[in-house]
């Protein structure tokens, strides 16, 4: 059985093949045979597996990160391929969608990313403090007059006035200094961690719920020059915002659905490359649900520059793979699967979400299958989730029909 989506996929693959007509014809036959075989053997499924109509994701997911996926995606695979108490890993954790969903579903959690910001975004949401503890800490910061800072420290951050009102910038610089002092003295705790996560998330955005003047959606910060241009074009000036009040408001919203019940011993987090996850033991993982960087579609360092500033992290601390060529991407995927072969137990699975890139001319799930050849994994299934996107759909962090992905394809491999 073939469907119209097969034909479209086939045409896309054929359109980039640099082959002679005879080779193309041979490929076409093989490709059709492969597709038919996959369908016949139930290895390829096309459908709407999770939709916006389904029940909403848990409120704790509601923070932004570039190219994040919806919680319904990991939920689908966690439900299908794991049981309570199993360990679920995401080695490209991002905002931590898989990890948090796994925790909410009673699984053990392992998560890492080459970007240290990701740990700051995820850790506090796995074991959040109470709302009253957050309110109390914000009051303490106020009582210690820690929202204020010296004019000199603002002067050195003068450029950021393109985003923030001077008194908002003062609060941010002061809050950053508060975290620094708490860390230095060893007093930094789960409540500080939470407040920093919320502040990171509120830095810039397009509504009064954010600290900044109106700007891009919060999952990426534009450059200073672009922001100045935006301000001039829209004749806008950064308005006053009450940083503490916005942190408390967002905390309340994030905590409205409750929190996971998780023991510290059930959580393993790290900042490390997917190719070497020394924090994990051999055969310790039951399921991987993940989405790697897709070639060079997203620049995680550039998009996160303002968050990195607030988190006091250097851009060089972000170790993300960006691949201009398909060959390099394939080799990166292979190295990652070599590490999966070490940490995933026999019978465990890897659900590897890739997208269509380069206008649909490259189907990355086909590339993954090739990259994994020879490693102890069998390709069990490919799910192609078809969703009807609207013009404003941006649920994967990348706008439809712009650079990036616009369909979601998940190749599932089983470790033998
Ligand atoms: C597509 S995003 C994952 C988003 C995630 N699924 C979510 O819902 O937030 C890919 C992530 O891979 C990370 N990354 C890129 N190269 C990496 C590497 N070699 N090792 C670990 N993480 C890497 C990036 O920092 C980014 O957070």
Structure confidence at residue 230 (pLDDT): 94
**Which residues have any ligand 1 atom within 6 Å of their CB?**
65, 67-69, 91-92, 94-95, 97, 113-115, 118, 273-274, 291, 293, 300, 320-321
From the CB of residue 337, how many other CB atoms can be counted at a distance below 10 Å? 25
Whose C-alpha lies nearest to ligand 1, atom 20?
273
Compute the C-alpha angle 126/129/134, nearest 5°: 135
**pLDDT number for residue 399:** 43
Indicate which residue's Cα is closest to atom 8 of ligand 1.
68
Q: Which residues pair with 288 in a beta bridge?
A: 89, 350
Q: For atom 25 of ligand 1, which residue has the closest CA?
A: 115
Instruction: Give the whole-angstrom CA distance, residue 102 versus residue 108.
Output: 7
Distance between Cα 36 and ligand 1 center (Å): 33
Rounded to the nearest angstrom, the gap between the alpha carbon of residue 313 and the centroid of all alpha carbons in its chain is 18
What is the C-alpha separation between 11 and 385, in angstroms, rounded?
19
Contacts of the segment 319-322: beta carbons below 8 A, 24+ positions apart: 319/114, 319/115, 319/273, 320/114, 320/115, 320/293, 321/114, 321/273, 321/292, 321/293, 322/293, 322/295, 322/296
Give the count of beta carbons closer than 10 Å to the beta carbon of residue 189: 12
Residue reference for tokens 């380069």 = 358
- Atom 17 in ligand 1: which residue has the minimum CA distance? 320
Eight-state DSSP code of residue 75: H
409 CA to centre of ligand 1 in angstroms = 16
Q: Give residue-wise pLDDT tens across range 34-43.
A: 555 665 566 7
pLDDT tens profile 250-303: 999 999 999 998 999 999 999 999 999 999 999 999 999 999 998 777 888 888
Cα 96 to ligand 1 centroid, rounded to whole Å: 10
Which pLDDT score is estimated for 319?
86
**Residue 205 and residue 36: Cα distance in Å, rounded?**
46
Distance CA 218, CA 204 (A): 5
Residue 395 pairs with which residues in a beta bridge? none
Residue 16 backbone dihedrals phi, psi, to 5 degrees:
-110, 0
Q: Ligand 1 atom 3: the closest Cα is on which residue?
A: 94
Q: What secondary structure does DSSP assign to 337-380, as a single string? A: HHHHHHHEEEEEEEEEEEEEEGGGTEEHHHHHHHHHTTSSEEEE
Residue 287 has phi, psi (to 5 degrees) of -150, 140
Helix 72-81 and helix 97-104, axial crossing angle in degrees, nearest 10: 50
**Protein residue whose Cα sits closest to atom 27 of ligand 1:** 94
| Separation of CA 399 and ligand 1 centre (Å) | 18
Residues sharing a CB contact under 8 Å with residue 139, sequence separation 6 or more, in sequence order: none
What per-residue confidence (pLDDT) applies to 365?
80
Identify which of 241, 374, 351, 333 has the alpha carbon closest to the alpha carbon of residue 285.
351
Measured between alpha carbons, how far is 31 from 15 in angstroms, rounded to an integer? Answer: 13
Of 273, 293, 327, 289, the C-alpha closest to 405 is: 293
Q: What is the pLDDT of residues 356-407, one digit of tens each?
A: 666 666 678 878 888 898 999 998 998 988 766 543 434 333 344 444 445 6
**pLDDT at residue 56 in the model:** 78
Pairing, β 408-415 against β 344-357: antiparallel
What is the atom index within ligand 1 of the atom nearest the CA of 274? 20
| Nearest by Cα to 248 from 195, 207, 204 | 195
Work out the burial of residue 14: count CB atoms within 10 Å of its CB; fewer than 13 is exposed, 13-18 middle, 19 or more buried.
middle
Atom 15 of ligand 1 has which residue's CA nearest to it?
Answer: 320
- Enumerate the H helices of 41-96 as residue ranges: 72-81
- Distance, in Å, from the CA atom of 262 to the CA atom of 265, rounded to the nearest integer, reads 8
Indicate which residue's Cα is closest to atom 18 of ligand 1: 273
Round to whole Å and give the CA distance between 410 and 408.
Answer: 7
Ligand 1 closest atom vs CA 97 = 8
Ranges under pLDDT 50 in the chain: 1-6, 8-10, 12-18, 390-405
Q: How far does the centroid of ligand 1 lie from the alpha carbon of residue 118, in Å?
A: 9
Atom 13 of ligand 1 has which residue's CA nearest to it? 92
CA of 8 to the centre of ligand 1 (A): 29
Domain positions in the chain are: 43-115+267-301+318-415, 131-254
Q: Which of 50, 60, 292 for mutating ligand 1's site (highest number of atoms within 8 Å of CB)?
A: 292
| d(CA 384, ligand 1 centre) in Å | 21
User: Which of 113, 298, 332 should be mutated for ligand 1, with most atoms under 8 A from CB?
Assistant: 113
State the pLDDT at residue 404.
43
pTM, rounded to two decimals: 0.86
Mutating to test ligand 1, I would choose from 63, 72, 77, 92 the residue with most ligand atoms within 8 A of its C-beta, which is 92
pLDDT at 395: 35
| Centroid of ligand 1 to alpha carbon of 110 (angstroms) | 14
State in Å: Cα 171 to ligand 1 middle. 30
**135, burial (CB in 10 Å: exposed 0-12, middle 13-18, buried 19+):** middle
Cα(242)–Cα(236) distance, rounded to whole angstroms? 18
Q: What number does CATH give the domain 43-115+267-301+318-415?
A: 3.40.50.150
């Amino acid at each position: 059985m073939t469907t119209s989506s097969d034909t479209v996929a086939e045409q896309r693959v054929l359109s980039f093949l640099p082959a002679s007509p005879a080779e193309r014809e041979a490929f076409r036959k093989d490709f059709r045979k492969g597709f038919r075989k996959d369908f016949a053997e139930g290895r390829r499924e096309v459908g709407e597996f999770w939709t916006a109509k389904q029940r909403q994701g848990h409120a704790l997911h509601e923070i932004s990160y570039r190219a994040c996926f919806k919680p319904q995606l990991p939920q689908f695979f966690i439900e299908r391929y794991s049981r309570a108490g199993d360990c679920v890993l995401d080695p490209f954790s991002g905002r931590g969608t898989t990890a948090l969903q796994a925790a909410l579903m009673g699984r053990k959690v392992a998560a890492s990313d080459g970007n240290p910001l990701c740990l700051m975004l995820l850790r506090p949401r796995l074991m959040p403090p109470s709302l009253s503890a957050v309110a109390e800490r914000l009051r303490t910061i106020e009582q210690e007059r820690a929202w204020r800072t010296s004019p000199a420290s603002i002067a050195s951050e003068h450029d950021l006035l393109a985003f923030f009102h001077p008194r908002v910038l003062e609060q941010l610089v002061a809050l950053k200094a508060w975290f620094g002092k708490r860390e230095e003295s060893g007093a930094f705790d789960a409540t500080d961690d939470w407040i920093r996560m919320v502040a990171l998330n509120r830095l810039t955005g397009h509504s009064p719920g954010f600290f900044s003047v109106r700007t891009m959606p919060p999952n990426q910060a534009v450059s200073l020059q672009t922001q100045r241009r935006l301000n001039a074009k829209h004749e806008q000036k950064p308005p006053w915002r009450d940083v503490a009040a916005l942190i408390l408001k967002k905390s309340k919203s994030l905590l409205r659905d409750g929190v996971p019940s998780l023991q510290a011993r059930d959580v393993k987090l790290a900042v490390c490359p997917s190719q070497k996850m020394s924090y994990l033991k051999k055969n310790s993982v039951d399921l991987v649900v993940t989405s790697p960087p897709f070639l060079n579609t997203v620049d995680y360092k550039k998009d996160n520059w303002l968050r990195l500033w607030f988190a006091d992290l250097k851009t060089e601390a972000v170790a993300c793979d960006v691949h201009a060529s398909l060959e390099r991407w394939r080799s990166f995927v292979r190295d990652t699967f070599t590490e999966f072969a070490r940490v995933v137990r026999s019978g465990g699975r890897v659900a590897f979400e890739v997208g269509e890139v380069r206008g649909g001319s490259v189907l990355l799930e086909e590339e993954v299958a090739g990259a994994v050849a020879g490693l102890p994994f069998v390709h069990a299934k490919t799910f192609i989730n078809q969703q009807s996107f609207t013009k404003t759909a941006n649920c994967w962090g990348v706008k439809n029909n712009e650079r990036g992905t616009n369909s979601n394809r998940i190749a599932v491999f089983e470790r033998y």
